[in-house]
Amino acid sequence: MTRHPLKTFIAAACALAFSGLASVASAQQSVEVLHWWTSGGEAAALNVLKGNLEKQGVKWNDMPVAGGGGEAAMTAVRARVTAGNPPTAVQLLGFDIQDWAKQGVLADLNAVAAKEGWDKVVPGALQAFSKYDGKWIAAPVNVHSTNWVWANKSVLDKAGVTTMPTNFDEFIAAAEKVQKAGFVALAHGGQPWQDATLFDSVVLSTGGIDFYKKVFIQKDKAALGSPTMLKAFDRMGQLRKLVDKDFSNRDWNLASAMVISGKAGFQMMGDWAKGEFVAAKKKPGVDFICMRFPGTQGMVSFNSDQFAMFKVGGDKAAAQAKMASAVMDPAFQSAFNVVKGSVPARTDVSDAAFDDCGKKGIKDLAEASGKGALVGSMAHGHAVPAGIKNAFYDVITRHFNGQIDSKAAVKEMVAAVDN
Q: What x/- string results for residues 227 through 256 when contact with ligand GAL is judged by CB under 6 A?
A: -------------------------x----
- Name the minimum Å distance from CB 180 to ligand GAL: 31
Looking at the Cβ atoms of 37 and 288, the one nearer to ligand GAL is 37
Pick 38 or 347: Cβ nearer ligand GAL: 38
Report the residue number, 211 or 216, with the smaller CB distance to ligand GAL. Answer: 216
Site for ligand GAL in 310-339 (CB under 6 A): none
User: Which residues between 360 and 419 bind ligand GAL (CB under 6 A)?
Assistant: 380
Nearest to 379 by CA among 287, 303, 299, 271: 303
In the bound complex, what is the minimum distance in angstroms from residue 141's beta carbon to ligand GAL? 9
Distance CA 365, CA 10 (A): 67
Give 54's Cβ-side CA count (13 Å radius).
9
x-or-dash string of contact with ligand GAL, 39-78, rule CB under 6 A: ---x-------------------------xxx--------
How many residues make contact with ligand GAL (CB under 6 A)?
Answer: 13
**Beta strands, E only, 179-311:** 184-186, 264-268, 288-292, 300-303, 305-309
For residue 59, with 0-12 CB atoms within 10 Å meaning exposed, 13-18 middle and 19 or more buried, which class applies? middle
Q: Which stretch binds ligand GAL (CB under 6 A): 34-42, 54-62, 121-129, 356-364?
A: 34-42
Smallest separation, CB 305 to ligand GAL (Å): 5
Facing residues of 64 across strands?
A: 35
Site for ligand GAL (CB under 6 A): which residue of 36, 132, 293, 332?
36
Cross-strand partners of 307: 91, 139
Residues composing the chain: 419
Alpha carbons within 13 angstroms on the beta-carbon side of residue 68 total 26
The DSSP output letter for 343 is B
Q: Which is nearer to ligand GAL, 233 or 272 (CB)?
A: 272
305 counts as binding ligand GAL under rule CB under 6 A: yes
User: Judged by CB under 6 A, which of 144, 153, 177, 188 binds ligand GAL?
Assistant: 144
In the region spanning residues 76 to 95, those forming contacts with ligand GAL, defined by CB under 6 A, are: 93
Inter-axis angle of helices 386-400 and 227-240, to 10 degrees? 60
Comparison of 36 and 168: residue with beta carbon closer to ligand GAL: 36
Give the Cα separation of 243 and 175 in Å (integer): 10
> What residues from 264 to 303 belong to the interface with ligand GAL (CB under 6 A)?
272, 303
**Helix/strand/coil for 287:** coil
Query: Closest approach of Cβ 197 to ligand GAL, in Å?
Result: 9
CB 388 within 8 A of CB 305: no
Identity of the residue, 266 or 272, whose beta carbon is nearer to ligand GAL in the bound complex: 272
In contact, 233 and 402? CB cutoff 8 Å: no
Cα separation, 273 vs 252, in Å, equals: 8
Report whether 33 contacts 62 (CB < 8 A): yes
In the complex, the smallest distance separating the C-beta of residue 7 from ligand GAL, rounded to whole angstroms, is 58
Residues in contact with ligand GAL by CB under 6 A are 36-37, 42, 68-70, 93, 144, 252, 272, 303, 305, 380
